[in-house]
Structure 1
Amino acid sequence: MKDTFTHKGMRKKLVETLITKGIENPKVLEAINKIPRHLFMDSGFIDHAYIDKAFPIGADQTISQPYTVARQTELLDVNPNDKILEIGTGSGYQTAVLIEMKALVYSIERQSELFKKAKLFLPKLGYRPKKLIFGDGYIGLASEAPFDGIIVTAGAPFVPKPLMAQLKVGGKLVIPVGEKIQVMTVFTRTSETEFEKEEFGEFRFVPLLEDKN
């Protein structure tokens, strides 16, 4: 598990790419500059780790494109000690970005293979989520609600009502909504019964899986 000067140089270039694509939040850029993304990928893909593209990580899932991770995190508007629920741990890279930004992260993963891998791997790099749960992201995590922010890292054909219910007033849900192509959507809870909705362009995600058991 090496992080060389070459890797650090490649990360610096990646950050420059993200800035040209419109990412402005210095804390997001700092986190991406610091996290060794190549360690979250299979060794065969290490040369591609700092290209702004998504890559396979097993179980028919991908590690999201760095721009997508940066954009979603920027839209989430994370502050230190914010309680964040992540739906779809995946490789754990997005989890690491949130922890690097000093959020208290609760993360749910539906795929057993990825869940086990992330649970062992994240602490090795010094990233410790408050909770990492194997379960159905559609139902959220009512036992730990309400959350300052909820981030969904897979394409959702609809917006799960439990996630809306588990947001604090003032909290944000960042979710890609749609079937084949998703629209990045942010819901801000403005009161107990009201939400403000904003849309931020089209993205492509692997589908959010519902618990079939």
Structure 2
Amino acid sequence: MSEHGNPRKGGRFPLRLDQVASAPKPAAPRELLRPQAHLQAVERERRVQGGQTPQGVGLDSIHVRRRMVERLRADGLSHPLVLDAFARLPRHLFVDTALVNQAYEDTSLPIGLGQTISKPSVVGAMVALLCARPGLRVQLDQGKPLGSCLEIGTGCGYQASLLALMARQVVSVERLRDLHLKARQNIDTLRRNEPGWPDVRLVYGDGMLGHPPQAPYDTIIAAAGGSQLPQAWLDQLAPGGRLVAPTAHPGGAGQVLTVVDRHADGRLEQTVSGAVLFVPLKSGIT
């Protein structure tokens, strides 16, 4: 075949350069999808810092966690120990591989068996409430404001690991065996990646019963909500302690965050702190 090829409508191929129409200008670039945005931001920070290599790479970089912390701070979370714990704990280690690029967004993510890892903003608000327990007014325990802490609903183990940085001890109860095992695996991975991370006592059992062997607890936090607070939790709350848990709204629409303080004289005081949405509280084990 000659270099001109076969005749075609409107001319021959190849066309001369002066016959080639200009390609349309590309559309304005769209904003990067959020999963890539984290890594792009890490690179921008690296350049701003004069080419210094960040601690870790990608989602392991402390800068990724710090950006999440700054968003939480901008949204009103102000407790310094809670913010520091968020900055230290690698959330992506607790998220399923398919969702790992969303680990540092303020969103809840599925962890299997109909359960979720809660939004960082919700976790932060609840833990900050625990850090203001009335017992701190008479105890010099500011370095570990949660004291002895009971968590109901271990889930993937993220919140328990966060609590461990601010508590003398954490006992976490999970009723779903597969999640209990998953949390144990996740926390083992965390402690391999972060040597010296405080350990957590994981219990496979009915969370509605609390965990009497280590009671009483200075702080109790629940990741599931029922129509009312189980009596076992109230019984296991120490004088000067605080309980934070979702319960059904008194009007029957949705859930509210309920705060219960046990004062030094044993008196219980209950208040409400905003609307929330958690999985339902269930009894038994499976």
Q: TM-score, normalised by structure 2?
A: 0.69
How many residues align structurally? 211
**Which stretches of structure 1, 4 residues or more, deviate above 3 A after TM superposition?**
3-6, 127-130
Is contact 1:122-1:128 (8 Å) kept?
Answer: no
Runs of 5+ in structure 1 lacking a partner? none
Aligned match of 1:31 in 82, 85, 90? 85
Other-structure match for 1:14: 68
- The alignment partner of 1:150 has SS state of strand
Displacement after TM superposition at 1:72 (Å): 0.8
1:52-67 equivalence runs, <5 A: 52-67=106-121
Identity %: 37
Q: Over residues 165-193 of structure 1, what are the superposed CA-to-partner deviations in whole Å (9 max), with x where a residue is unaligned? A: 10111100101111772211110001565
Other-structure match for 1:210: 283
Other-structure match for 1:117: 182
Other-structure match for 2:254: 181
**Structure 1 stretch 86-95 or stretch 170-179: which is displaced more?**
170-179
**Structure 1 stretch 200-209 or stretch 190-199: which is displaced more?**
190-199
Q: Over residues 112-143 of structure 1, what are the superposed CA-to-partner deviations in whole Å (9 max), with x where a residue is unaligned? A: 11101112221331245452111111111112
Q: TM-score, normalised by structure 1?
A: 0.92
**1:102–1:141 distance in 2 versus 1, CA, 3 Å:** closer
Runs of 5+ in structure 2 lacking a partner? 1-54, 133-141, 192-196
- The alignment partner of 1:125 has SS state of helix
Indicate whether 1:86 and 2:151 are aligned: yes
Q: Return the alpha-carbon distance in structure 2 between the equivalents of residues 171 and 102 of structure 1.
A: 13
Q: Return the alpha-carbon distance in structure 2 between the equivalents of residues 39 and 212 of structure 1.
A: 26
Larger Rg: 2
The AA in structure 1 aligned to 2:180 is F
Other-structure match for 2:229: 159
Q: CA RMSD in A?
A: 1.9
Is contact 1:181-1:205 (8 Å) kept?
Answer: no
Is contact 1:86-1:151 (8 Å) kept?
Answer: yes
Is contact 1:105-1:130 (8 Å) kept?
Answer: yes
